[in-house]
Amino acid sequence: MRVAVIGGSGYLGALIADRCQERGHSVVALSRHRGVGTWEHQQCDLTAPGLGAERARAAITEADVCVFAAGSVSWQSSSTESLQVHDRGIATLLQLVESAANPPRLVHVSSILALGEPDKAVASDQLFVGQRFRNWYEYGKYVAEHRVRQSATRHNIVRFGPLLGLGYDAAIPDIRYGLPALFPMALAGYPIPITDGGQYPCYVGDVLGAAELVVDMAEWTEFGRTVTWFDPQNPSLCEILTRICLPFGKYPRIIKADTGRAEWLMRTLMRRIGTDANLTDYAHGWVDVDARADSEFTREVRGREGYIQQMSAAMAGQSWSRPQHIDVRYTHA
């Protein structure tokens, strides 16, 4: 089977390409930057008309399965930045898939954040439930999933929360965005104000388990399914930050605070004092998801034991300078 992986040089995408190749499939990875795997690579730009390259378009239309695993933009991105990828990019991809002589099946990697902030529990296959969106990233994810659902493609959709653990070639997630952006703050001993002390889930999962599930979906003959997957243990935000810090002989300084009522004020204050704005997106619970991946359509998918601690160990000896005046060198105690 020939599989085209859009976003094939990314943290999740490279691991999907690796798992596909390991199962004997022919893989072509499409991304803006060349990846490090041994599979075929083609340049692809989701913000460019027609994806920017004829070879990229041919790779999609000639594939048996197309996996859309791109779209890593900041939660603080503008409407233009977010919608260029999640709206225009997916629209171009869908047009190419639908125009192919033998249209490939599509696996769309979505996000739990596509559900925004609803005021009730959401089932695994729901999308519009009258929710509001806190940022353009969330709305972009919603628009992309909506486009796929409304398309004439043979598609399946999988939603993940934040993915952690070691990716292809022992890669760690980008700490500039999302949940990993909190790790330097926790390790530097910055006080972290969080509703209920972070005793709520944020639906993390091991990136390896996520990649295995995506490849399972690429091999399905059924289509029209939407599933949600995360770590069955579903650790709280407090537990995650603690697992990150303990290998370094530290403990996160979490302050119990009611951040939900004054989120707009919190964002303003954080910008002024130089604290990472990503914190506001994790400072209180987001959504109540009442279902995981449908076991009828997936084999048992398991992440690695201790995947958060493994990732923490891989961070040792590395250094990043944060623009918000946080400079941390990771060294185990």
In a domain, 245, yes or no: no
Residue 299: pLDDT band by 50, 70, 90 thresholds?
low
Query: What is the overall mean pLDDT for the chain?
Result: 82
Residue 324: pLDDT band by 50, 70, 90 thresholds?
very low
Name the percent of the chain lying above pLDDT 70: 82
Q: CA distances (Å), 279 to each of 191, 220, 283, 307, in order?
A: 11, 38, 6, 22
pLDDT above 50 for 325: no
pLDDT above 60 for 270: no
Place of tokens 């099946």: 105
pLDDT above 90 for 35: no
Q: What is the DSSP string of 208-241?
A: HHHHHHHHHHHH-S--S-EEEE--TT--BHHHHH
Render pLDDT for 47-77 as a digit per residue (tens, 0 to 9).
888 888 888 899 999 999 999 998 766 767 7
pTM: 0.88
CA 109 to chain centre: 8
* Domain range enclosing 154: 2-173+204-231+292-302
**Count of Cβ atoms closer than 10 Å to residue 221 Cβ:** 6
As a whole number, mean pLDDT of residues 33-45 equals 88
In a domain, 95, yes or no: yes
In a domain, 316, yes or no: no
The pLDDT score that the predictor gives to residue 291 is 59
Q: Which tokens belong to 232?
A: 């069955």
The sign of the CA dihedral 102, 93, 124, 22 is: positive
The letter for the amino acid at 193 is P
Q: Determine the Cα–Cα distance for residues 27 and 332; give it in Å rounded to an integer.
A: 38
With contact defined as beta carbons under 8 Å apart, do 5 and 17 qualify? yes
The pLDDT score that the predictor gives to residue 151 is 95
In a domain, 73, yes or no: yes
In a domain, 309, yes or no: no
Domain harbouring 151, CATH code? 3.40.50.720
In a domain, 70, yes or no: yes
With contact defined as beta carbons under 8 Å apart, do 7 and 73 qualify? no
Render pLDDT for 257-269 as a digit per residue (tens, 0 to 9).
765 555 555 555 5
With contact defined as beta carbons under 8 Å apart, do 209 and 158 qualify? no
In a domain, 61, yes or no: yes
Q: Into how many domains does the chain fold?
A: 1
In a domain, 185, yes or no: no
The pLDDT score that the predictor gives to residue 295 is 54
Mark out the alpha helices in the chain (DSSP H runs): 13-22, 54-61, 79-83, 90-99, 136-150, 183-187, 207-219, 237-245, 263-273, 307-314
Q: Determine the Cα–Cα distance for residues 157 and 108; give it in Å rounded to an integer.
A: 5
